[in-house]
Amino acid sequence: MRYPKGTRLCLDFMDEPGMSPGLQGTMEFIDDAGQIHMHWENGRSLALIPGEDSFHRIDGPANEVPKREKAKKERSPQR
């Protein structure tokens, strides 16, 4: 599943008052219509509609440092 429960997403655009770019939230579930139901940091529970709303994932594999790169950083001397 692309967005398992608990995935953190960041809003880029939604045509809804009070839903500003940069607002972050936690994915709760995806319904049968493909809407991504969220719990937002502003206290609202509102679904994202893929193709209409714009958002990006802020955690998970896409943002993790690969193990090899992480090991290099840990071994390199601090300047």
> Where are the chain's structural domains?
8-75
In the predicted structure, residue 20 carries a pLDDT above the cut 90: yes
* Residue 1: predicted pLDDT: 58
pLDDT tens figures, 27-54 = 999 999 999 999 999 999 999 999 999 9
Show the 3-state SS of the chain: CCCCCCCEEEEEECCCCCCCCCCEEEEEEECCCCCEEEEECCCCEEEECECCEEEEECCCHHHCCCHHHHHHHHHCCCC
pTM over 0.85: no
